[in-house]
Amino acid sequence: MKTIEIIYESNLRSKAIHVASGSTLITDAPVDNHGKGETYSPTDLLCTALGTCITTIIGIEANKLGIDLHKMKGTINKTMTTNPRRVALIEICLVLYGNFSENEQKQLYTSAVNCPVSLSLSSEVKQELNLTFSAI
């Protein structure tokens, strides 16, 4: 069973099609690696996968705990290295809006750092997660 189809379109641009839904996304090589940088690069998607996995797992954990998670938003920063060219650091800063006890904050953080994407990345990729809990 196919999950994702990939088509190289040209000029360092690829299209990925999620077979079940038909959703598509385009990647482009970044400017600092011979591309146009007009959309997500593959390494941007790696970082995005980590960030959205963390937010999904936090949402699942909040539901399990009966926490009213009103909103969550944040940023992802990526640091690349050379020789070999790879992602060296992914910094994720998230703000969670709601009323959280200290114990709930610990449980949400623990679930976040143990998301499947985080656990799938090499230990050579440094991950920094900063959660800020903001009362509504």
Domains of the chain: residue spans and CATH: 4-33 (no CATH), 42-134 (3.30.300.20)
pTM, full prediction: 0.94
pLDDT by residue (tens digit) across 48-72?
999 999 999 999 999 999 999 989 9
What residues have CB less than 8 Å from 12, skipping those under 6 apart?
28, 29, 34, 35, 36
**136 has a pLDDT exceeding 90:** no
CA pseudo-torsion sign 4, 9, 11, 13? negative
pLDDT in tens, 30-40: 999 999 999 99
pLDDT at 1 over 80: no
What percent of the chain stands above pLDDT 70? 100
**Neighbouring C-alpha atoms within 13 Å toward the C-beta of 56:** 10
Burial of 67 (0-12, 13-18, 19+ CB in 10 A): buried
